[in-house]
Amino acid sequence: MSGPSLLDDLLVVDLSRNLPGPLVSRLLGDLGARVLKVEEPTLGDPSRHLPGAKDGKSSLSALLLAGHQSIALNLKKDAARECLEEMLITADVLVESFRPGTLERLGLPPAELRRRYPKLIICSVSGWGQEGPDAQRAGHDLTYQAIAGSLAGARGMPAAQTADIVGAWSATCSVLAALHRRQRDGQGCWIDQALLDAAGHASIMAWASETESPRADREPLLLTGSVPCYNLYPTKDGGRLALAALEPRFWKKFCAAVDRRDWLLRQYQTDGSVHREVAELVAGRTREAWATLFAEHDIPVDPVLSSAEAREHPQVKVRDLLRDGDDGLPRLGFPARFDGERPREDAAYPGLGEHTDGVSREFGLASALSSRKRRAGGIGRRFSFKRWALALAGKAAPRGLGKNSAEGEDS
């Protein structure tokens, strides 16, 4: 670990799984917090078993869990809950992503946790929020965006998990704000982070457009392809060009560069005629040819790169955002620098339950590691990736496969 450590006195206990909740802990960990990642004993976090693996280890899991300490606990068992509550005595933040009401069923109702641990900040990440007619419904990033209206202007599937990622950043910001307030009054709080709300914030341009008139599904919005100066266009070689000459001065420079001054007054024309003319022009050259041409002009026009190509782009390399860890798995740096340095560069990827024994002893719970309690399921063992791979191939049925808790499930 290198770089400034801004939250090195912070202890985070993470019960969440999949993407949004673990990303909250990832960001806090990048800023220096110690994260105790509590995982289901048999399979662990579902991200460990997603495609994109190297030597049986998932790349997404490495991006989310590296630097954390993994503790395998079955929270349906009394011994495991005792371990968790001992950790919460000194913890600053608890992150969870169960379906609303699950903590109560586990004997850990948030209101009671707030009473017992008044300085604790509980961050509950759920799909639809803690209350309302849809609070108990299943969901995923795509459905949260659908209901929030952020897909209305989309012409296809979104390329990023907007609700999940914006939700994680919103939750992280809320945790930091709560920590700041706690410095004044010594009190924690319970944060209710709905991914639906995050998707709503991602729709800020769409909400603004509603002041003119209500917009229908698939009705193009300003930044979703309705104007020819801000769109994606196929190139001769099957690539794509991102044209973002939104301001008149950039459109003027673009028209001059391609020798089409007749387009100057047609920048915001929405009848499709200019779209077709620009598309025909762009289709006449390769992506590389366009990149070479526009490299000489200060215009926001760039080739659309794949993730692999983006990693090799000179500016991306200078920023040094993505690198490989010692295990060959990727590490994504915190997307900001402090006095020229990122908070954390590389960190070890923990095996499932790797730190269970050490953390239990640290919190005075060595007795919980007895063979009797291990057999009872209170403290978990490591999971064999080979067994999971066989299960995916239909050759075995893994025991204890939990549902998608980050999207609102309860186990």
**What residue segments make up the domains of the chain, in order of their start?**
11-202+326-407, 222-304
Lowest mean pLDDT among 22-31, 55-64, 264-273: 55-64
For residue 332, pLDDT over 90 is answered with: no
Q: What is the pLDDT of residue 3?
A: 65
Residues 6+ apart with CB under 8 A from 396: 387, 390
For residue 387, pLDDT over 50 is answered with: no
The secondary structure of residue 213, as a DSSP letter, is S
Q: For the chain, give percent helix, strand, coil, nearest 5.
A: 40, 15, 45
Q: What is the pLDDT of residue 4?
A: 73
Return the higher-pLDDT residue of 214 and 355: 355
Q: Do residues 28 and 93 make contact, with C-beta atoms less than 8 angstroms apart?
A: yes
Report the distance separating Cα 96 and Cα 101, nearest Å: 12
The 3-state secondary structure of 187-212 reads CCEEEEEEHHHHHHHHCHHHHHHCCC
Q: Which CATH number fits domain 222-304: 3.30.1540.10, 3.30.420.40, 3.10.20.30, 3.40.50.1220?
A: 3.30.1540.10
User: How many CA within 13 A on the CB side of residue 267?
Assistant: 18
Q: What is the pLDDT of residue 51?
A: 78
Assigned CATH class of 11-202+326-407: alpha beta
Burial of 273 (0-12, 13-18, 19+ CB in 10 A): exposed
Return the higher-pLDDT residue of 72 and 224: 72
The yes-or-no answer to whether 11-202+326-407 and 222-304 have a common fold is no
Report the distance separating Cα 346 and Cα 30, nearest Å: 9
Mean pLDDT over 232-256 rounds to 95
Mean pLDDT over 336-347 rounds to 82
pLDDT category at 385 given cuts 50, 70, 90 is very low
Strand partners, 35: 12
Q: How far is CA 274 from CA 119, 255, 294, 375, in A?
A: 59, 12, 20, 70
pLDDT category at 380 given cuts 50, 70, 90 is very low
Provide the percentage of residues in the chain whose pLDDT is more than 70: 85
Report the distance separating Cα 118 and Cα 192, nearest Å: 17
Through-space distance between the first and last CA atoms of the chain, rounded to whole angstroms: 33
Q: What is the pLDDT of residue 381?
A: 39
For residue 289, pLDDT over 60 is answered with: yes
The secondary structure of residue 34, as a DSSP letter, is E
pLDDT category at 345 given cuts 50, 70, 90 is low
pTM, 2 dp: 0.85
Mean pLDDT over 194-204 rounds to 91
Q: What is the pLDDT of residue 309?
A: 92
Backbone phi, psi, residue 128, to 5°? -110, 0
Neighbours of 321 (CB within 10 A): 16
Q: What is the pLDDT of residue 328?
A: 84
Report the distance separating Cα 14 and Cα 354, nearest Å: 15
For residue 290, pLDDT over 60 is answered with: yes
Report the distance separating Cα 190 and Cα 103, nearest Å: 13
- CA nearest neighbour of 279 among 298, 263, 256, 265: 263
pLDDT category at 215 given cuts 50, 70, 90 is low
Q: What is the pLDDT of residue 20?
A: 96
User: How many CA within 13 A on the CB side of residue 110?
Assistant: 21
- CA nearest neighbour of 139 among 404, 332, 359, 320: 404
Q: What is the pLDDT of residue 107?
A: 92
Strand partners, 341: 338
Q: How far is CA 246 from CA 205, 206, 253, 382, in A?
A: 14, 17, 11, 53
β-strands 34-39, 53-54 pairing? unpaired
Mean pLDDT over 241-270 rounds to 94
Residue by residue, DSSP assigns 309-345 as: HHHHSHHHHHHT-EEE-TTS-EEE--SS-BTTB-S--
Lowest mean pLDDT among 24-33, 89-98, 336-345: 336-345
Mean pLDDT over 334-354 rounds to 86
Q: How far is CA 409 from CA 100, 132, 233, 392, 400, in A?
A: 9, 16, 40, 21, 14
Question: pLDDT tens across 143-176, in order?
Answer: 999 998 888 877 778 888 999 999 999 999 999 9
Q: What is the pLDDT of residue 369?
A: 44
Name, of 175-179, 199-203, 358-362, the range with top average pLDDT: 175-179
Lowest mean pLDDT among 143-152, 157-166, 202-211, 399-408: 399-408
Lowest mean pLDDT among 109-118, 144-153, 365-374: 365-374
Report the distance separating Cα 164 and Cα 21, nearest Å: 9
Q: What is the pLDDT of residue 220?
A: 66
Tokens of 129: 């929020």
pLDDT category at 216 given cuts 50, 70, 90 is low
Lowest mean pLDDT among 98-112, 177-191, 209-223, 274-288: 209-223
- The mean pLDDT value of the chain amounts to 85
pLDDT category at 140 given cuts 50, 70, 90 is very high
Lowest mean pLDDT among 144-158, 217-231, 314-328: 217-231
β-strands 240-244, 301-303 pairing? antiparallel
CA angle 121, 127, 131 (to 5 degrees): 70
Return the higher-pLDDT residue of 176 and 357: 176
Mean pLDDT over 292-309 rounds to 91
